[in-house]
Copies of this chain bind each other. A is one copy, B any other.
Amino acid sequence: MTGATSGAPSRSDAVRNRRLLLDAAAKTFAERGVEVSIAEIAQCAGVGKGTVFRHFSSKEELLAAIMLGMLDELMDTATELLTADDPGLALREFMAAGVQLLVRDRAFCEVVGRPSLQNPQVRAAIDRLCDAGEALTARARERGVVRPDLTGTDVVLLLAGIQHTAAPLLSTEPQAWRRYLELALDGITARTGRELPHPPPRRLPLASPHPDSGC
Contact = CB atoms under 8 A, between A and B. Distances in A.
Interface of A: 24, 27-28, 31-32, 40, 43-44, 106, 113-115, 154, 157-158, 160-173, 175-180, 182-188, 190, 192, 196-201, 204-205, 208, 211, 213, 215
A86 to B, nearest CB: 18
A183 B208 contact: no
A146 to B, nearest CB: 11
Contacts of A115: 168
Contacts of A183: 154, 158, 184, 187-188, 196
Contacts of A164: 113, 160-161, 163-165
B27 A213 contact: yes
A190 B187 CA distance: 7
27 contacts: A28-B215, A31-B213, A32-B213, A40-B215, A43-B215, A113-B164, A115-B168, A154-B179, A157-B165, A157-B180, A160-B165, A161-B165, A163-B164, A164-B164, A169-B205, A175-B198, A176-B201, A179-B196, A179-B198, A179-B200, A182-B197, A182-B198, A183-B184, A184-B187, A186-B186, A187-B190, A190-B190
Given A186-B187, A204-B168, A198 B215 contact: no
